[in-house]
Amino acid sequence: MHKDPAIIWGTRRITWGQLEQYCATVIGQLKGLGIKPGARVAICAPTCTEYIIVLFALWRMKVVVCPVSTRWPAQVVSDYLSRVNATLLLTTVQIKSTFQTVPVRTLHLNEVVGLTRVRIFMKSTIPGNRI
């Protein structure tokens, strides 16, 4: 089972074993940022393998995931994040630059999925990592 594909995205293939490793890494990163069960974490990103990995990790942490449309203007996103009481917004490099005034800490997906030693691991095992 661990060698069976969990995520197939174009030419990318991530096995259940790899997904487990990635999720454990993301959970460690998020716990290091102070994210605890019950916290509300928003995600605003196009669908990609990193999004799926982070989503699985957040669910395993029992975190409330607050999806944010990439089409919403910055003011709507800011209002939404305040209303849902989000503690963190995960997004992409391209989208983060449009959210200069959001009321929560904002990180790129690869800052969570790819910090320091993990960045090398993720880039070497997921070909085409563009986020």
Its CATH architecture, for the domain 5-125, is: 3-Layer(aba) Sandwich (3.40)
pLDDT tens sequence across 43-53? 988 888 888 99
Give me the residues paired with residue 1 across strands: none
Asked if residue 41 lies in contact with residue 64, where contact means CB atoms within 8 angstroms, the answer is yes
Amino acid at 69: S
Give the span between the Cα atoms of 15 and 3, in whole angstroms: 5
Give the span between the Cα atoms of 15 and 112, in whole angstroms: 20
CA angle 92, 78, 96 (to 5 degrees): 15
Question: How do strand 88-91 and strand 40-44 relate by DSSP bridges?
Answer: parallel
Stated pTM of the model: 0.77
pLDDT tens sequence across 9-43? 888 888 999 899 989 989 998 999 899 999 999 99
